[in-house]
């Protein structure tokens, strides 16, 4: 198991959070965004978040962001 897979496994052992994934992708220059806010990451991945800070809209955007991140990450 390589480092990224072990890190992801550790992160997801108790919860699923998109923030560390977005931060890692930004650090590794997989994505080029100004900050790691949900609105910014959603825009980068083409997710509509026109109703930002509405609880249900944020949850739906976070869920969609998670799946888009997982589809973009290459596990070797």
Task: Please compute the mean of the pLDDT values over residues 43-72 and round it to a whole number.
Answer: 93
pLDDT of the residue at 29: 93
pLDDT of the residue at 69: 93
The model's pTM:
0.76
49: burial class by Cβ within 10 Å (0-12, 13-18, 19+)?
buried
Separation between Cα atoms, residue 57 and residue 36, nearest integer Å: 18
* Per-residue exposure over 9-39, b if at least 16 CB sit within 10 Å of its own CB, e if not: eeeeeeeeebeebbebbbeeeebeeeebebe
The pLDDT-based confidence of 76 (bands split at 50, 70, 90) is: low
């Amino acid at each position: 198991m390589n480092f990224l897979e072990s890190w992801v496994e550790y992160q997801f052992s108790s919860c699923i959070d998109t923030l560390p994934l977005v931060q890692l992708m930004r650090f590794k220059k997989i994505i080029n965004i100004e900050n790691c806010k949900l609105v910014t990451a959603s825009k980068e991945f083409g997710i509509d978040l026109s109703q930002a800070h509405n609880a249900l809209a944020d949850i739906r955007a976070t869920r969609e962001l998670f799946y888009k991140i997982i589809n973009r990450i290459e596990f070797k």
